[in-house]
């Protein structure tokens, strides 16, 4: 029997041809040096960029809030399950396909199949919409950072010596956030013009992002050494400070002791899944763009597991820091409330002080029941903050967790003179978390536009243009009603569309591109084929779980009225503002549908020939490469050459 010649294209076996004697393997690989695509300086720079992109603001304020709202430790159970069956598998797919094809998100899907080009366009749309509001949060961090260089901190006490009732009815930190920083309007319908302080801070944030991005990964890659590692240094400092605070144990017990009855609530599972997508930054396109700068022979399987585990570990570690501080704050607020009631009882009840009677956490309601008819002040006393457990149950979520709760806790860090130091570190950390994620989000827009040939001029011009456009559109968030608009974008632009995009990319890669072909690529790139875990999740568990979540989300949105909350200056607290006006509700639906609509639109346009793809698909590229290398086979017999030629497309 003659020689067996195995012809491979980048590790994918294309033919078996017999020749004379022995066995020979001819590997046909695309020359990576032939293109001028930028590359990472080293593997550490790449991993830090992926970690920086995945680990963002959501790890510090969104994840702890979801834990608090969904039963503490009970939330960790569905979160970890969704991480295993959805997060890591999709994360791996994006790294693999970006590294294999070495293109941005638009051209990746065009090369797999031109009919799927809309998946890449949808990714670009989501990245653009998220970038609009994400950088606003960095601007808020900048505002607090600039105000931290003074002692005492401006949110340490109420202004006016008791004459500003809005502050007296709330707290110094809430007043500073809603009135001094945001100067928020009473409703979304009251735009109120531009808050120039916020506008300048948002401009500063976009200027920093533009400077770091203007040289591409060579610039942002250097910056990532600082932006991706500094938050861990600060979190570590706050960890040791937080766990030594009195009451920290109560907060940690609330975090890790599960309320198992919460596991029966489907909303808990829904929020766990959406947090996985948002936290890992899958379906944004940035992961594909970053991995496209890798050499093809790189262990993307290991990278996917390492980055995903670090990301989730960071969320849990940040929750430990946050809940230790929340436990301290809950205890402090409870003691303050009980002391106020003690002072009131001593003032209104004869003999209360002389009999050495004391108000405690266990008897204050009994005392109120006994003496509430004595005086109206006792009857109307607000016990809202007297319960330590109640304080933990009602912790402020979302952005308020960072800008209200944590600043109030820092007011009580001792010594008080160190308050500015803690504040500077904390808000510099938040800004860094946001910046490292912004680099990846904008790469999800810039790289696809250039790779697809939509932008043919210098990359620096595209970066500047994109930042200017985002800043101008983002002025909607600099209005006095800007916080309401940010809530709309945060709730609807980066959640539901991610489910749809991730579902279609899973189907596209595993069922259209093909699992065998993907396995061959992974064997070439990593040296091993995917194991049973990857196959089962990609083929069954991941798409099925996303379909279930998709259905649950539609049901949830269809059976509820979209309402919003806002600040009431007269009451000094956040209240329910009722449903959005019709145009606000329409904006919610636009943000949900707009990115996803690109998938069927491009499919129909390509199918009907109205928008033909004029580039080269991956299959055609492989065939062209084979034909170019065909002359190398002439050293074999004529019979061998004819056999190979017969196999060429």
Binding-site residues for Na(+), please? 52, 54-55, 59, 279, 311, 433, 437
**Two tokens, residue 63:** 């994840």
Residue 365's CB: how many other CB atoms inside 10 A? Answer: 12
CA–CA distance, 385 with 161 (Å, rounded to integer): 23
Q: Annotated binding site: which residue ranges?
A: 52, 54-55, 59, 279, 311, 433, 437
- What Rg value do the Cα atoms of the chain yield, rounded? 29
CA–CA distance, 347 with 473 (Å, rounded to integer): 56
How far the first Cα of the chain sits from its last, in Å, is 27
Sheet with 23-28, strands from edge to edge, namely 12-19, 3-9, 23-28
- Contact by Cβ (8 Å): 89, 518: no
Long-range contacts of the stretch 366-375 (C-beta < 8 A, 24+): 367/341, 368/341, 371/345, 374/348, 374/349, 375/348, 375/349
Q: 492 exposed, middle or buried (CB, 10 Å; 0-12, 13-18, 19+)?
A: buried
- Contact by Cβ (8 Å): 112, 513: yes
Phi, psi of 466 (to 5 degrees): -65, -45
Neighbouring residues of 268: CB distance < 8 A, sequence distance ≥ 6: 70, 71, 74, 75, 78, 262
In the Cβ-directed half-sphere of 51, how many Cα atoms lie within 13 Å? 26
Give which of 129, 190, 194, 188 is closest to 584, Cα–Cα: 188
Instruction: Tell me which residue has tokens 């346009």.
Output: 605
CA–CA distance, 413 with 478 (Å, rounded to integer): 32
- Cis peptide before 393, with omega less than 30 degrees from 0? no
Give whole-number Cα distances, 212 to 54, 140, 439, in Å: 18, 19, 8
- Contact by Cβ (8 Å): 296, 375: no
């Amino acid at each position: 029997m003659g020689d067996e010649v195995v012809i491979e294209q980048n590790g994918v076996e294309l033919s078996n041809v017999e020749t004379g004697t022995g066995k020979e393997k001819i590997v046909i690989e695309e020359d990576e040096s032939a293109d001028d695509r930028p590359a990472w300086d080293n593997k550490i720079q790449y991993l830090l960029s992926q970690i920086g992109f995945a680990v963002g603001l959501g790890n510090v304020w969104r994840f702890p809030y979801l834990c608090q709202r969904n039963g503490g430790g009970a939330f960790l159970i569905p979160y970890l399950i969704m991480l295993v069956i959805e997060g890591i598998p999709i994360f791996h797919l994006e790294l693999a396909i970006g590294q294999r094809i070495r293109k941005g998100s638009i051209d990746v899907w065009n090369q797999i199949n031109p009919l799927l080009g809309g998946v890449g366009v949808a990714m670009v749309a989501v990245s653009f919409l998220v970038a609009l509001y994400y950088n606003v949060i960095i601007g808020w961090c900048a505002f607090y950072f600039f105000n931290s260089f003074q002692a005492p901190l401006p949110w340490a006490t109420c202004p006016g010596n008791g004459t500003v009732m809005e502050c007296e009815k709330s707290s110094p930190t809430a007043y500073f956030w809603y009135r001094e920083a945001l100067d928020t309007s009473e409703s979304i319908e009251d735009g109120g013009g531009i808050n120039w302080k916020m506008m300048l801070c948002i401009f500063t944030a976009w200027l920093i992002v533009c400077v770091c991005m203007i040289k591409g990964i060579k610039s942002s890659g250097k910056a990532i050494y600082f932006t991706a590692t500094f938050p861990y240094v600060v979190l570590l400092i706050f960890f040791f400070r937080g766990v030594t605070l009195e009451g920290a144990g109560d907060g940690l017990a609330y975090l890790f002791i599960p309320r198992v009855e919460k596991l029966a609530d489907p909303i808990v599972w829904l929020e766990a899944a959406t947090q996985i997508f948002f936290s890992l930054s899958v379906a944004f396109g940035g992961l594909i763009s970053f991995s496209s700068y890798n050499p093809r022979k790189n262990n993307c399987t290991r990278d996917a597991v390492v980055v995903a585990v670090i990301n989730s570990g960071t969320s849990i570690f940040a929750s430990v820091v946050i809940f230790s501080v929340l436990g301290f704050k809950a205890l402090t607020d409870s003691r303050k409330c009980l002391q106020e009631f003690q002072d009131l009882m001593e003032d209104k009840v004869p003999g209360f002080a002389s009999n050495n009677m004391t108000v405690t956490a266990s008897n204050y309601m009994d005392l109120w029941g006994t003496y509430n008819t004595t005086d109206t002040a006792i009857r109307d006393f607000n016990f809202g903050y007297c319960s330590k457990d109640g304080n933990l149950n009602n912790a402020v979520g979302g952005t308020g967790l960072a800008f209200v709760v944590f600043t109030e806790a820092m007011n009580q860090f001792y010594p008080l003179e160190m308050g500015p130091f803690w504040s500077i570190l904390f808000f510099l950390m938040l800004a860094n978390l946001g910046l490292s994620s912004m680099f990846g989000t904008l790469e999800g827009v810039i790289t696809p536009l250039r790779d697809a040939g939509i932008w043919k001029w210098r990359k620096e011009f595209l970066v500047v243009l994109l930042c200017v456009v985002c800043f101008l559109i983002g002025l909607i968030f600099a209005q006095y009603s800007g916080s309401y608009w940010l809530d709309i974008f945060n709730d609807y632009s980066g959640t539901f569309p991610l489910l749809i995009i991730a579902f279609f990319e899973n189907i596209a890669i595993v069922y259209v591109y093909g699992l065998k072909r993907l396995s061959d690529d992974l064997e070439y790139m990593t040296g091993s084929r995917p194991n049973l875990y990857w196959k089962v999740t990609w083929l069954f568990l991941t798409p099925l779980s996303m379909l279930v979540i998709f259905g649950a989300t539609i049901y949830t949105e269809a059976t509820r009225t979209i309402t919003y909350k806002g600040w009431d200056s007269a009451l000094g607290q956040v209240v329910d503002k009722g449903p959005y006006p019709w145009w606000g509700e329409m904006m919610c639906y636009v943000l949900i549908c707009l990115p996803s609509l690109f998938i069927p639109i491009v499919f129909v346009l390509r199918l009907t020939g109205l928008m033909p793809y004029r580039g080269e698909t991956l299959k055609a590229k492989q065939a062209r490469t084979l034909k170019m290398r065909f002359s190398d086979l002439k050293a074999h017999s004529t019979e061998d050459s004819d056999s190979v030629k017969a196999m060429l497309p």
